[in-house]
Amino acid sequence: MSRLIPESSASLDRDAVKKHLRLLWRPRTNQPERPGPRPRITTTGVVSAAISRADSAGLENLTMRELAADLGVKPMTLYSHVPDKASLLALMTDQVFADSAATLPHSSPWRDQVRAVMDDTFQLYSSHPWLLTVHTEQPVLGPGFLGRYERQLQCLQPLGLNDVTLDATLTFVSNFARSAAADLIGQETLALSGRDWWEAAGPTLEELVSGSDYPLATRVGTAAGRARGGTYDAGSNYSFGTQCVLAGLGALVDESIA
Residue 56 or 105, more confident: 56
Q: Which residue has the higher pLDDT, 233 or 182?
A: 182
- Is 121 a residue whose pLDDT tops 80? yes
Three-state DSSP class for 252? Answer: helix
Query: Which of the pair, 199 or 134, is modelled with greater confidence?
Result: 134
Tell me the C-alpha distance between 19 and 245, whole Å: 38
Give the alpha-carbon dihedral of 78, 147, 1, 66, to 10 degrees: -20
Mean pLDDT on 101-115: 89
Whole-number pLDDT of residue 194: 63
Structural domains present in the chain: 111-133+161-257 (1.10.357.10)
Q: Residue 10 pLDDT > 60, yes or no? A: no
- 170 touches 110 (CB < 8 A): no
What pLDDT digit, counting tens, does each position of 199-257 carry?
777 777 778 878 788 889 888 888 887 777 666 788 889 999 999 999 999 998 887 76
Summarised one tens digit per residue, pLDDT across range 41-71 is 899 999 999 999 999 999 999 999 999 999 9
Write down the pLDDT at residue 120. 96
**pLDDT score, position 1:** 32
Closest listed residue to residue 54, CA positions, set 138, 115, 125, 155: 125
The residue with greater pLDDT, 203 or 120, is 120
Pick from 96-110, 135-149, 161-175, 226-240 the range whose average pLDDT is largest: 161-175
CA dist., res. 208 & res. 221, Å (int): 17
Q: How far apart are CA 7 and CA 13, in angstroms?
A: 7
Beta-carbon-side half-sphere exposure of residue 5 (alpha carbons within 13 Å) = 23
| Distance set, CA 186 to CA 46, 123, 137, 138 (Å) | 29, 15, 23, 25
Check: CB of residue 255 under 8 Å from CB of residue 217.
Answer: no
Crossing angle of helices 64-71 and 85-99, in 10° steps, is: 60
Higher-confidence residue: 258 or 184?
A: 184
**How far apart (Å, rounded) are the C-alpha atoms in residues 29 and 27?**
6
Q: How far apart are CA 178 and CA 58, in angstroms?
A: 17
Identify the pLDDT of residue 212: 82
Write down the pLDDT at residue 93: 93
- pTM of structure: 0.83
Closest CA to 155 of 116, 98, 102, 97: 116
Q: Are 134 and 86 in contact (CB under 8 A)?
A: no
Higher pLDDT, 32 or 186: 186
- Average pLDDT of the chain is 84
Query: Taking a C-beta distance cutoff of 8 angstroms, is the pair 4, 20 a contact?
Result: yes
Choice among 13-27, 154-168, 187-201 with the minimum mean pLDDT: 187-201
State which amino acid sits at residue 205. L
> Taking the mean position of all CA atoms in its chain, how far away is CA 14?
25
DSSP designation for 32:
P
More confident residue, 138 or 124: 124
The pLDDT of residue 134:
82
Statement: residue 4 has pLDDT above 60: no
Choose among 51, 77, 52: nearest CA to 65.
77
- pLDDT score of 159 more than 90: yes
Helix/strand/coil for 24? helix
* pLDDT given for residue 153 in this prediction: 96
